[in-house]
Structure 1
Amino acid sequence: MSLTATLDRAAGPPAAYRLIDALVLAVLAAALAACYAAGMAPPTVLAVALASFGLEFAVGRVVTDGLLRGLELADEAPPRLRRIAAEVAAELGVATPSVVVDRESDGGVNVLGGGDRTVLVASASLVDRLDDGALRAVVAHELAHRSLGHLHRVPLREGATHAVGLAAFWFLALRQLPPGVAAVAGGAFLVAGVGRSNDVNRLLYVLASAGVVVLVRALAARANRLEECHADDVAVAATSATDFCTGLYAVGAVGDADDAVAGGSPFGARRTRIERLTAEHPSIEARLARYGLAPDEVAERARVERPADD
């Protein structure tokens, strides 16, 4: 049994992901304390933490604002989707989001922004393919993250990972360099970590920290997976297990990298070793199994072919 499933059964998702968050913060505190004990000046220790969290929040804000501006020209959603989103938002006690459809992607649902500027983005093809129950379920899953406060914790986990990685980089190499050179190299490390959009950045990020960031990301990923389970439970309560699993399978079978419901690599049988370690969503097989269902039981209703296990 996986660690995620073990924690889920032992404590339930909310208690389990809060426990992991506490552990991530403990790792962060230990890393910064080790740097201080090895000679890092207190102002530098503070700068490492502030830069790591500050850059993550700043870049996240800029990216989100850019996406929201781009959505101003997107097509308005059909009445059916707007009605479902409004009903689910009212039931979950969150503000009714603006709703738009993306006609370029094959599948996926996402929620951007927050407060008075929340936008639900859904693939037009997915909206056409799903019946009301399944569509309502995937919308409920995404809005559940908003009602449960999950979206505020993601940048905190990312910032903690950057800070621990930068502390490891300093401990292993930067402390032996002149301060100015160390500052530039540390900044480059953070930029590579925040912008892990290509293989070069990801490789530099991992190598400079001697793999420490992979271990912290693996820990944080467990918290993210448990939050997904929590949102799954809310979606099932708002609809049914069959409705949610059908919608989840339909989204996952398309494999859209930008989808927030199933994730970029949704099927466990097709994940690489590193994806099994750091993926932020549980596999679809595991998520269906939580509700006593198998992929074959929902594939036909989802109106997609079952992906091969290669």
Structure 2
Amino acid sequence: MSLTRRLDRAVGLPAAYRLVDAALVGLLVAALAVCYATGMAPTGVAAVALAAFGLEFGVSRVVTDGLLRGLELADEAPPRLRRIAAEMAAELGVAEPSVVVDRESAGGMNVLGDGDRTVLVAAAPLAERLADAALRAVVAHELAHRSLGHLHRVPLRAAVTHTVGLAAFWLVALRHLPPQVAAVAGGVFLVAGVARSNDINFLLYVLASAGVVVLVQALAARASRLEECHADDVAVAATSATDFCTGLYAVGALGDADDAVAGGSPFGARRTRLERLTAEHPSIESRLARYGHVPDEVAEGAGVERPADD
């Protein structure tokens, strides 16, 4: 049984991901304490935390604002999708989202939030191919993240990872360098961490922290996986297990790296070892199993071609 399943059974989903977040806070405090104990000045300790959190939140805000401005030029969603989004928003008690269609995405769906504004972004293939019932369930899953407050925790976990990683970098190398050089190197580390979608940046981020950031990311990923399961449960309660599993499978089969429903590497059998450790979404197989389904049972109803096994 996976750690995600064990935590779910032991304390329930909301308590489980809050416990993981508490553990991350504990790591944050320990990392800053270690920096101080090994010779970093109090102002340096404060600067480490402020820089990590400020950079992550600043970049996240800029990216979100840019995406929202770009979506103003996107194609308006078809009436069917707008109607479904409005119905599910009312059922979940969230503000009715603006709904747009992304013609460039292969099959993803995402929800973006900026204060009181919510925007649901659906890939054209997904909006066109999914039947109403499955589409309702997928929309419900994304809006559930908004109703449960999950969107605000993502940059917090990333900032904790940056801080703990920078503390490890300090212990390994920075404390032995002149202060000015250490400050520049620390800044480069943080920039690489925030822009870690680039393979070179990610490699620098991992190596400089002696691999510590991977372990922190794995812990943060557990919280995210538990949140995904919580959103799954809300979607199932609002629709049905079969409808949700069908929609989830369809999203995963269409595949999109930026998808927020199934994740960038949705099928467990295809995940690399690193993805198994740090993926923020449980595998589709495990998510279906929570509701007594297997991929073969929902593949036909999903209305998409089944992915070939690699």
TM-score interval, smaller chain: over 0.9
Partner Cα separation in structure 1 for residue 227 and residue 45 of structure 2: 31
CA contact (8 A) 1:95 1:115 kept: no
TM-score for both structures, normalised by structure 2: 0.98
299-308 vs 276-285, greater mean Cα deviation:
299-308
CA distance, structure 2, for counterparts of residue 100 and residue 252 of structure 1: 20
- Identity level (%): 84
Match of 2:270 in 1: 270
Structure 1's unaligned 5+ residue stretches are: none
Q: Distance in 2 between matches of 1:19 and 1:187?
A: 30
Letter in 1 for 2:128: D
Residues in 2 aligned to 1:230 and 1:51: alpha-carbon distance in whole angstroms: 32
Deviations 1:189-245 (A, max 9, x none): 000000012110000000000000000000000000000000000000000000000
**C-alpha deviation, 1:302, in angstroms:** 0.3
Give the match's secondary structure for 1:309: coil
Deviation at 1:118, TM superposition (A): 1.6
Cross-structure match for 2:95: 95
Unaligned ranges ≥5, structure 2: none
Alignment length (residue pairs):
310
Give matches, 1:232-271, under 5 Å.
Answer: 232-271=232-271
CA distance in 1 between partners of 2:170 and 2:104 (Å): 44
Normalising to structure 1: TM-score of the pair? 0.98
CA distance in 1, matches of 2:89, 2:11: 28
Q: Report deviation, 1:308.
A: 2.6
Q: Aligned residue for 1:15?
A: 15
2:288 match: secondary structure:
helix
Tell me the equivalent position of 1:174: 174
Query: Secondary structure of the residue that 2:165 maps to in structure 1?
Result: helix
**What is the alpha-carbon distance in structure 2 between the residues aligned to residue 197 and residue 279 of structure 1?**
13
* 1:212 is aligned to 2:212: yes
Q: Which moved more, 1:75-84 or 1:113-122?
A: 113-122
Q: What's 2:62 paired with?
A: 62
CA contact (8 A) 1:285 1:294 kept: yes
**RMSD, aligned α-carbons:** 0.8
Task: Give the match's secondary structure for 2:233.
Answer: helix
Aligned twin of 1:159: 159
Task: Say if 2:285 and 2:295, in contact at 8 Å, map to a contact too.
Answer: yes
Contact 1:162 1:213 (8 Å CA) reproduced: yes
Question: What SS is found at the alignment partner of 1:210?
Answer: coil
Q: CA deviation at 1:255?
A: 1.4
Q: What amino acid is the match of 2:24?
A: V
Report how far residue 69 of structure 1 moved. 1.1
Aligned amino acid, residue 190 of structure 1? L
- Kindly state the Cα deviation for residue 116 of structure 1 after the two structures are TM-superposed: 3.1
CA shift, 1:24, in A, is: 0.7
Between the aligned partners of 1:207 and 1:306, the Cα distance in structure 2 is 38
Measured against aligned partners, the alpha-carbon deviations of 1:68-91 in whole angstroms (never above 9, x if no partner) come to: 111111111111111111111111
Match of 1:40 in 2: 40
Q: Which residue of 1 aligns with 2:106?
A: 106
Distance 1:307 1:9 in 2: 31
Letter in 1 for 2:146: R
Instruction: Quote the residue 1:150 is aligned against.
Output: 150
Tell me which residue corresponds to 1:141. 141
Deviation at 1:3, TM superposition (A): 0.8
Measured against aligned partners, the alpha-carbon deviations of 1:89-120 in whole angstroms (never above 9, x if no partner) come to: 11111111100011222211101123332210
Contact 2:94 2:147 (8 Å CA) reproduced = yes
**3-state SS in 2 of match to 1:119:** strand
Specify the alignment match of 2:288 in structure 1. Answer: 288
Q: In the alignment, is the contact (CA less than 8 A) between 2:113 and 2:151 conserved in 1?
A: no
Tell me, yes or no, if the aligned pair for 2:250 and 2:303 is still in contact at 8 Å: yes
Q: Tell me how far 1:307 sits from its aligned partner.
A: 1.8
